[in-house]
């Protein structure tokens, strides 16, 4: 008989990375034909926009696991486990995954169609005069947003209104923009927009030079990258996001303090069928700051910007395309570990009351590959690989799969019953088991 203890689980301190279409592990029942059909449409030299839209929105949840759905589930669960139901979080995670695929492709296609003359307006309510008035002060301007909603259209709309600015990008996005510029070098957009890779020294230095000359820069704050990448420790501050602690990059905000440049936060969402720009906080250091004055400004501005982001998430979490990467900069909660005796009493009480037990969907996300099941604690980011001999039982604990109650457990073989009791005891110690 296998001794089912925590030591028999393969545990790691951090959730696996989401590095591409299939790397996050598709479900056993994923419809590969739906994925292959979409990939073929996405790679077409003559893309059918309507067909791609329909193919993306037709993906099942199993299909979407291949596009990072489990990461969205985990990160949204960390934010909303106490305020939203399991079903609501599932729906929001699905919408966010679809949003990233569809809007990412849609904007990539939009860039490929840029012409020497500007096309139709993509965002209403761009505060043209306010932006130009601020730039006329000669102190520079830091425009900020988040990877949410229709943020991708902000750069081209700023170019449309004739405001020269520099766009701060991570390496992958920098490659996409470079490709688009090479395909349409005479597009009107490039007359006003430059862009840099902030993961390179020259990129960060260029942003400083732009502000020093009184120009404008634009960055998405939750990209959380810089010279040391998304996991580095440089230029960080700790903020609260809907009850979660996160270590966020402050490079753009530090530049605002250094050059005395005001910060304009904004977002873009679709309301009543119209894509609209929405202003966030306006934060002005008033003058170039140094020392403690600069430090205080950076801390206060960062807190204010992320408070605005938190409020926005409540309404638009389903449009948070960057939500699949939140675990890279979120601070995990301290791991819970009850004494095994206490955990066993909890399980016994549940079963004696005639209730059933299930995986605690308020903190545990399950990922499945062909021969592997892993439970990820959304709050602590600990991962536990389920032993092969207990795959069948882990599947029984999925919501809606089976009623695992005292009578059902007592009908199992003595060997399986012992394993089940050890499994429940060990995971109840981590609050990974709950009553239905």
Angstrom distance (rounded) from CA 331 to CA 112? 38
Q: What is the pLDDT of residues 86-107, one digit of tens each?
A: 999 999 999 999 999 999 999 9
Confidence (pLDDT) at 43: 86
pLDDT at 128: 94
The total of other beta-carbon atoms located within 10 Å of residue 52's CB is 19
pLDDT digits (tens, 9 = 90+) for 107-137: 999 999 999 999 899 999 999 999 999 999 9
67 contacts 57 by C-beta, under 8 angstroms = no
pLDDT at res. 166? 97
Going by pLDDT thresholds of 50, 70 and 90, the confidence category of residue 370 is: confident
| Rounded Cα–Cα distance for residues 262 and 254 (Å) | 11
In this predicted structure, what is the pLDDT of residue 224?
A: 66
| pLDDT reported for residue 425 | 95
Residues 6+ apart with CB under 8 A from 226: 198, 199, 204, 232, 234, 235, 249, 251
pLDDT score of 225:
59
245, β-bridge pairs: 240
pLDDT at 9: 44
In 3-state terms the chain splits into helix, strand, coil percentages (rounded to 5) of: 45, 20, 35
Please report which confidence band the pLDDT of residue 7 belongs to, taking 50, 70 and 90 as the band edges. Answer: very low
What distance in Å separates the CA atoms of residue 74 and residue 89, rounded to the nearest whole number?
Answer: 9
List, for residues 195-221, the tens digit of each pLDDT value. 999 988 899 899 999 999 999 999 999
> What was the pLDDT predicted at 234?
59
Residue 322 has what pLDDT?
Answer: 93
More confident residue, 32 or 174: 174
């Amino acid at each position: 008989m296998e001794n089912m203890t925590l030591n028999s689980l393969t545990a790691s301190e951090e959730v696996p990375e989401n590095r591409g279409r299939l790397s996050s592990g598709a479900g056993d029942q994923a419809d590969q034909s739906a994925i292959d059909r979409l990939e073929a449409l996405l790679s077409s030299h003559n893309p059918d926009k309507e067909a791609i839209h329909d193919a993306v929105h037709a993906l099942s949840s199993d299909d979407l696991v291949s596009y990072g759905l489990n990461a969205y589930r985990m990160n949204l669960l960390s934010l909303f486990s106490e305020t939203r139901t399991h079903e609501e979080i599932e729906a929001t995670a699905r919408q966010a995954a679809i949003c990233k695929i569809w809007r990412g492709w849609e904007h990539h296609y939009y860039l490929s169609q840029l012409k020497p003359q500007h096309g139709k307006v993509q965002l209403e309510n761009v505060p043209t005069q306010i932006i130009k008035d601020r730039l006329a002060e000669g102190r520079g301007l830091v425009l900020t947003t988040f990877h949410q909603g229709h943020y991708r259209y902000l750069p081209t709309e700023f170019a449309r209104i004739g405001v020269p600015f520099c766009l701060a990008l991570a390496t992958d996005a920098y490659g996409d923009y470079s490709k688009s510029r090479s395909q349409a070098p005479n597009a009107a957009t490039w007359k006003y927009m430059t862009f840099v890779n902030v993961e390179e020294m020259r990129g960060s230095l260029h942003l400083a030079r732009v502000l020093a000359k009184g120009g404008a820069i634009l960055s998405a704050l939750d990209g959380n990258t810089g010279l040391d990448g998304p996991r580095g420790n440089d230029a960080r501050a700790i903020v609260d996001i809907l009850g979660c602690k996160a270590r966020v990059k402050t490079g753009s905000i530090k530049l605002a303090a250094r050059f005395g440049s005001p910060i304009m936060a904004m977002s873009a969402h679709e309301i009543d069928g119209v894509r609209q720009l929405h202003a966030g906080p306006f934060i002005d250091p008033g003058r170039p700051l140094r020392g403690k004055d600069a430090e205080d400004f950076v801390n206060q501005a960062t807190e204010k910007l992320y408070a605005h982001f938190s409020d926005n998430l409540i309404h638009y979490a389903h449009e948070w395309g960057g939500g699949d990467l939140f675990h890279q900069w979120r601070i995990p909660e301290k791991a819970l570990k009850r004494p095994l005796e206490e955990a066993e009493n909890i399980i016994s009480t549940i079963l004696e009351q005639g209730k059933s037990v299930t995986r605690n969907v308020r903190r545990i996300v399950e990922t499945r590959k062909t021969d592997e099941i892993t439970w990820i604690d959304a709050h602590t980011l600990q991962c536990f690989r389920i032993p092969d001999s207990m795959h069948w039982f882990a599947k029984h604990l999925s919501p809606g799969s089976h009623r695992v109650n005292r009578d059902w457990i007592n009908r199992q073989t003595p060997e399986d019953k012992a394993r089940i009791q050890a499994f429940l005891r060990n995971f109840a110690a981590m609050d990974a088991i709950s009553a239905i």
